């Protein structure tokens, strides 16, 4: 009987995963899904991070600093998987972006190899910003040359290069999520609030300029990638196979919200708004939510991605249908009295 019980304990032992960026948009969904799948979840919490959004979750909070090797070593000891999802996206301080996204990632990889070289899988969550947009009307593949156009994109590209240095030493997968939709996302919330006020910005040029992915599908791709024992040392785009125009997305949100009449803000006015936002941000010392460069990028560029590689190698495809995904988002924000 004793031997049988010991065997059961070994069989039932939870797989331990360390998650960075757990308090952000994607991280919160990822933690919930890992818990639902019976993982033993540890969340790396930086000194400046407020972990309140993780309250009442059955997780372990691990206080660590990306620039304190000893704290990283402690955090990474004994984990089966590492999902590095943490990053700084918006900041007026360019050095902070590169330090947080590049040097921190380098330090994390070094620590992982130092104390846990037998780890089952390391997942680095990069971004389509690392590959950059294209002005051509074709889907980018993972083999296309990277041409990041933003400070954030350049930092994520350089972080990828640091991660790839460990390809021969650690079992690594890099994932570049496309434009992600879901609850907790600030941009989605801003669009919903604007539509409620009957205002819709005319984004893009009318073409199908982007691929999308609902966050629930993205975290499924994360977990599928860490559980795959054979696949490593590679990069994947994660996106729905369909292409969408920016107006198609905002119109579907308007339709789901039951808003009949809206005022559409044309491109010239958006440029003026971006100019004002930049002036105000300079005065307040903050990063502007909208800039002329971003508006022009959305209008001119295509962010479309070929998903054939991850489908072929991991069998992954998105499951959430566009209309149902938008409906779920709108319903959640209504139920929580946010819109």
What's the CA angle centered on 299, arms 262 and 124, to 5 degrees?
105
Q: How far apart are the first and last CA of the chain?
A: 58
What's the CA angle centered on 147, arms 146 and 148, to 5 degrees?
110
- Whole-prediction pTM: 0.92
For the cut 80, the answer to whether the pLDDT of residue 11 exceeds it is: no
* Residue 287 banded pLDDT, cuts 50, 70, 90: confident
Domains delineated in the chain: 2-184+212-241+305-318 (3.40.50.720)
- What digits encode the pLDDT tens for the residues 50-94? 999 999 899 999 999 999 999 999 999 999 999 999 999 988 899
* Residue 2 banded pLDDT, cuts 50, 70, 90: very low
Distance from C-alpha of 28 to C-alpha of 37, rounded to nearest angstrom: 15
* Residue 12 banded pLDDT, cuts 50, 70, 90: low
Q: Residue 230 contacts by C-beta under 8 Å, 6 or more apart in sequence?
A: none
Q: Residue 193 contacts by C-beta under 8 Å, 6 or more apart in sequence?
A: 339
pLDDT, averaged across the chain: 93
pLDDT of residue 266: 92
Percent over 70 (pLDDT), the chain: 96
For the cut 80, the answer to whether the pLDDT of residue 97 exceeds it is: yes
pLDDT of residue 288: 79
Mean of pLDDT values over 115-132: 98
For the cut 80, the answer to whether the pLDDT of residue 5 exceeds it is: no
Q: Residue 306 contacts by C-beta under 8 Å, 6 or more apart in sequence?
A: 139, 140, 141, 142, 237
Q: What is the dihedral of CA 222, 225, 226, 227, to 10 degrees?
A: 120
Exposed e or buried b for every residue in 57-88, given b needs 16+ CB within 10 A?
A: bebeebebbbeeeebbbebbeebbbbbbbbbb
For the cut 50, the answer to whether the pLDDT of residue 293 exceeds it is: yes
For the cut 60, the answer to whether the pLDDT of residue 145 exceeds it is: yes
Distance from C-alpha of 152 to C-alpha of 130, rounded to nearest angstrom: 8
Query: What is the token pair recorded at 59?
Result: 């997780």
Better-predicted residue by pLDDT, 297 or 244: 244
């Amino acid at each position: 009987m004793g031997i049988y019980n010991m065997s059961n304990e070994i069989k039932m032992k939870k797989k331990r995963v360390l998650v960075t960026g757990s308090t952000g948009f994607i991280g919160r969904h990822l933690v919930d899904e890992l818990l639902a799948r019976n993982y033993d979840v540890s969340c790396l919490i930086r000194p400046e991070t407020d972990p309140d959004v993780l309250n009442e979750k059955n997780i372990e909070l691990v206080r660590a600093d990306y620039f304190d090797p000893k704290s990283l070593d402690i955090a990474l000891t004994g984990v089966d998987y590492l999902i590095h999802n943490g990053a700084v996206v918006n900041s007026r301080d360019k050095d902070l972006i590169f330090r947080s996204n590049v040097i921190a990632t380098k330090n994390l990889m070094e620590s992982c190899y130092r104390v846990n070289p037998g780890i089952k899988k390391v997942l680095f969550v990069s971004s389509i910003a690392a590959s950059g947009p294209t002005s051509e009307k074709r889907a980018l593949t993972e083999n296309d040359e990277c041409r990041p156009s933003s400070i954030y994109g350049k930092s994520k590209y350089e972080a990828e290069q640091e991660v790839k240095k460990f390809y021969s030493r650690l079992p690594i997968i890099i994932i570049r999520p496309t434009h992600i939709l879901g609850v907790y996302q600030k941009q989605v919330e801003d669009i919903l609030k604007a539509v409620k006020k009957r205002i819709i910005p005319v984004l893009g040029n009318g073409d199908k300029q982007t691929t999308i992915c609902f966050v629930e599908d993205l975290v499924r791709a994360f977990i599928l990638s860490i559980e795959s024992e054979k696949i490593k040392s590679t990069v994947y785009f994660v996106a729905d196979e369909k292409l969408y125009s920016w107006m198609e997305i905002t119109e579907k949100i308007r339709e789901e919200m039951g808003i009949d009449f809206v005022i559409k803000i044309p491109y010239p006015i958006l440029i003026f708004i971006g100019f004002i936002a930049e002036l105000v941000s300079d005065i307040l010392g903050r990063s502007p939510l909208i800039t002329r460069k971003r508006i022009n990028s959305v209008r001119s560029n295509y962010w479309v991605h070929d998903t054939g590689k991850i489908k072929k190698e991991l069998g992954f495809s998105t499951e959430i249908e566009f209309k149902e995904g938008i409906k779920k988002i709108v319903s959640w924000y209504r139920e929580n009295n946010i819109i």
